[in-house]
Structure 1
Amino acid sequence: MTEALKETVSSAWTNVKRGLSSAPPNDAYLAWDAEGVEIIKPDEQEKTQRIKEVMERMQEHNFDLHRKAFRATHVKTQGIVKGTLRVHSDLPEHLRQGIFAEPGKTYDVAARYANEPYLLQRDQENGPRGLGLKVFDVTGPRLEGVDDSVNTQDFFFNNAPSIELTDIDTTLEIMSLREKYFDDPAALGTHLKMRTDLVKQHAPYMLPNTNIISHAMYSQSAFRFGKYYGHMALFPVLESQKAADAKVKNDDPSCVLSDWLFDYFGGKEAKYEFKIQLGTDPAHHPTEDGSVVWDEATSPYQSLGTITFPTQNSFSQERRVFWEDHMSLDAWTGLDAHRPLGGINRLRKDVYPHSKKTRDKINVSKSEDVRSVDEIPN
């Protein structure tokens, strides 16, 4: 089947799904603070505190094993790159929100590729991969309580469009199991299979274990987008990225994913299209259930800009140590126009700073919101 035919078939199927859906029209974008977009449960703070304590103990457990404290998740660095984000010059009015308000504007950015799991693992182990993105020289009203001198906006992406942790209740259950069976992945797997949501919990470990440069990356959770709200994603643009989809083999080195990124960036640039799905109805596009993939038939992706990472050393040891010991990423220090939404993000508001504090205390280091891409070593 030719690419043109595939696109025609896909478009026809999308139109059929759109016609059958009870969702509002695709362009009837809902206000981010409309009724039902967020529903806060009365026991969230108590459960958030318990999750903080569980994740702190897991950080301490990692220290016992490796004599170094890591982040509570996304422990294994696979690559760190610098580049630019350019907002499309022909951006339609409804997409001119937050950092995308000025068409044609270019920002410096830096990103860290990592394995998502909470422990160091061989790259032969299947599991989600992530990308943390920091955008520099961002202006506009910040979220409440944030120092006005902060000039960055952070985004977090994983290579799956949904998150199996679902909500705060599920997160507490799963994190407690991960702590209990920290040293026994087989037992953890057995207990996950006993859950009613076993398919959802195993989904991340069914992702293709391939070169990270070929992966699309998704925010998984919802964010305010100026007047509206949505899910964001990064999609590889270049054929060289899409074609770099080799699978990890058992006899590959345990660090093969970082090796592949290093080899790729040693001779090629990478480009991602930064896109957003805008929500029209909490029933179809929820913020409180992170496991729901928003249907592209009712919320199609719309392009905002292009991220370019030029050829560079993606595994500079100076850059790795600087990021792991000194970089702080937190979407709750960003613009009010990109306010994190939903239970998973409300959880992150407390968990991320606590994880940073725990890491800094054990490592006797100081993580901070780096204000310039030039502060990151080459």
Structure 2
Amino acid sequence: MSHSSPGYAQPAAAASRLPAAVYLIALGAFALGMASYVTAGLLPLIAPAFQVSVAGAAQLVTAFTLAYGLGSPVLVAVLPARRQRLGLLAALALFTVANGASALAGDFSSLLVWRAVAGIGAGVYLATGIAAAAAVCGAGQQGKSIAVIMGGMASGTVLGVPLSLLLAERLGWSAALWLVAALGLATLIGLASRLPALPAAQEVSLRRKLALLRDQKVLVILLVSLLAAIASLGMYTFLAPLLAGRPVAPFLWAWGIGGVLGSFLVGPLADKVRGPMLTLAILVLLSLALLALPLAAYWGAWWAVLPIVLWGAVGWALQVPQNQQLLQARAAQGDGNLAVALNESALYLGSAIAAAAGGLLLLLDWPAWTLAVGAAAVAALAALLQLTRRLD
């Protein structure tokens, strides 16, 4: 119930403050960002512990990402519309338990299964968490709330992964996963007490939910996300060859720090600028940053920091208006969380496509700079596609 009399007016600062539940969801996203990327860094420790090759241990990453990208949309699709709060908490509980069980795994097969389970929990949590945050925040704060969550995930990647790897070096590989589980548990306890009841949505049959795949607006958004992932995440995979033997870690930090800044700074813009126009501007900047990357690297390694920071910033920032547009496009149908889950799947699929295509080009002895130029061209293609939505 709203009140227009002065006696009920809220201070401007209070009106602009996001609910505590949004920041708690972001803490869970921080743990998710750690879980998504830390396993790759743990492979040299996990492989000898289970007497498998590093290549074999890498299947842990594959299990997590495939389950995240393919399994989570299925569970989101069957989640009852009137049980969204319960679904969010259950997904977080599953993610937390799976990471704890991974730390306790006695054999590699068990560890592989639990990483897949963790991937499913992570995917469902992020999709339902973004939808829940948008539902509980005030008018005009949807973009800001999504930005806080994406910033939490970016921070988990940039800050959480190095921290957990340092912990693993001292206490063993399982310590990193225990840290993820502890953060998940803390978030679960906080959300159980601070997350309010979510607005009841209309029950929608699975058949009607799948109808969103015939929604042209949704399909364009998902295709733009796919192309952006091919460009941004794909080039991330091949940053080391482009830098020609230079130490890559400082540049990965620059990319990640840019991602954190971009995720948080785009929030206010997302609530003031029309989503299609903001996405278009971000895609143009992404294409320019990727195009400038090989030229800057040629001038000198440290020149490359500038386009790398910009690339990281706009690459992460893009998903704030994308997810916001998906929620708005499907608000009337009540299946925005499924659209967000499909968007996450598009990101993982784009990353996989780029990794395969880039690897093939390197096998054919194409110079590394052509990968950056190709990534810029894909981002430009996404921008051209986005132009079809400029009047939405």
Q: TM-score, normalised by structure 2?
A: 0.23
Q: Which has the higher helix share?
A: 2
Q: Which has the higher strand share?
A: 1
Q: TM-score, normalised by structure 1?
A: 0.24
